[in-house]
Chain A
């Protein structure tokens, strides 16, 4: 999921100084899991705006804010409230915010959240970054994503900076390569791993902006077709 965090209200204040009427949009996907785009977050924001003598013309929660056409359809029933608003506030990730920017080019669109990372939720609303969307997944080899979990994105083992298995950058965390090393050992793959060198990584796969026309199928080549086996 995409993990987002609510912006500091002082930053928001700067954006809305000269604006009075707002329409609020949340997202029922990641931002709801993060508590940054659910009904409670929207109502808290509404209250804060009203306490600051601002008017909220309406609000809604998009099913999937990053889905442009679906969100456009959902928003059609809020046409009047949106027209009355001088500004739209979006409580989602940056992708959801840009859906709204694309749909309402003439109105200011203000993100209420900062998008942080792709991560997992271990406990309720406790998130850990797990993927850097680098475009080249090595998890089959390393078990844990060392590109993400190692602050130096080391591909071939730990640096010399760990102490008692803890990372030099954040001693509260276990060194990603100690975790990867233990995983390799449990799988009986440690010796094999060190026979080769991983990389240099193809960072061109992570060059932004990226685009994709996705396919759900796998290769139709004869060797991979189960019917042929």
Chain B
């Protein structure tokens, strides 16, 4: 059983962080970041060509992490592979010792740096989740018997900020039915929206890790709001930092996220946090020191 699963099952609060594999063959920087993250978090998620921007594959990054003795979460999207490629990559990932999966449909290539690419989307994330359920039962997507069973701990994503929210809640339920064992949320700015979602989610026996982002600059907040699918930064937050100078924005960012996390922990709103710090390990360190998890 993966450490992440063990902790979540035992009701311990988990902290994960996100690293984006390098844009290029050079991995030393990623290794340095991993070493810094190791004492701070329970697992590190490796993104799968986020926003459709071409990077080294998540699978290789996960293997590098395993070799350093650090538990990875493999993010797998449906954008770049058909069902054959997905199953093949997942069996390979399992053979290399990767156990945690976070499954999603994936941002469209038109948003990335290879806009001319043909998007695949042979299956969507609900079907992908059922596919993993099959692999764990020793079957492929068509029900053909495999020569063994995988032991993946697998989760889906949900966006509590979505408007309208009900179609998103239905998708959450559907992913649960397909076998998702945990959920990671899109970045949260307003605790009320997370609470509202958790009121709904609590009727199902599942684990939810809240995505939180560390605000670094005005530019970053505008970027998230206008360029990142599914992310809407509340207007009051944009208005609030508009008057700050750059240094104040950084201080505010750490303080804002720290308060959000402490609030989540004190009220026991969900079962962990996932730090979306865009590979800025220093910020993760500052934040976690600040709240002393």
Contacts and interface: CB of A to CB of B under 8 A. Distances in A.
Interface residues of A, number: 27
A159 B173 contact: no
Nearest to B126: A156
A169 interface: yes
Given A151-B108, A169-B111, A159 B125 contact: yes
Given A151-B110, A159-B229, 14 more contacts: A154-B121, A155-B127, A160-B168, A161-B230, A163-B230, A168-B229, A177-B167, A178-B164, A178-B167, A190-B170, A194-B173, A197-B127, A199-B123, A200-B127
A53 B147 CA distance: 71
14 contacts: A152-B119, A156-B174, A157-B170, A159-B229, A160-B159, A160-B230, A162-B229, A168-B111, A181-B170, A190-B170, A194-B174, A197-B130, A200-B122, A200-B123
A168 B159 CA distance: 13
A214 to B, nearest CB: 28
B141 interface: yes
Interface string A85-115: 0000000000000000000000000000000
A127 B126 CA distance: 32
Contacts, number: 101
A160 B157 contact: yes
A129 B78 CA distance: 23
A158 interface: yes
Contacts of A163: 163, 229-232
Interface string A165-202: 10011000000011001000000001000100101110
Nearest to A160: B159
A168 B230 contact: yes
Interface in A198-223: 199-201, 203
Across the A-B interface, give the 10 residue pairs with the lowest CB-CB distance, nearest first.
Answer: A161-B229, A168-B229, A160-B159, A156-B126, A157-B171, A160-B230, A154-B124, A161-B230, A152-B121, A159-B105
A168 B186 CA distance: 14
A163 B161 CA distance: 9
A197 B175 CA distance: 10
Contacts of B186: 160
A154 B167 contact: no
B178 interface: yes
Contacts of B127: 155-156, 197, 199-200
A152 B109 CA distance: 10
Interface residues of B, number: 40
Contact of A161 (B107, B122, B130, B163): B107
Chain A contact residues: helix, strand, loop or mixed: loop
A169 B110 contact: yes
A168 B228 CA distance: 9
A164 interface: yes
A226 B166 CA distance: 43
Contacts of B158: 160
Interface in B99-151: 104-108, 110-111, 119, 121-127, 130, 141
B56 interface: no
B226 to A, nearest CB: 10
B170 A162 contact: no
B35 interface: no
Contacts of B125: 159
A153 interface: yes
A93 B60 CA distance: 45
Nearest to A168: B229
Contacts of A157: 126, 167, 170-171, 174
A164 B141 contact: no
A118 B275 CA distance: 44
A160 B229 contact: yes
A58 to B, nearest CB: 40
B83 interface: yes
Q: Of residues A151, A158, A164, A201, which shows the largest number of chain B Cβ atoms within 10 Å of its Cβ? A: A158
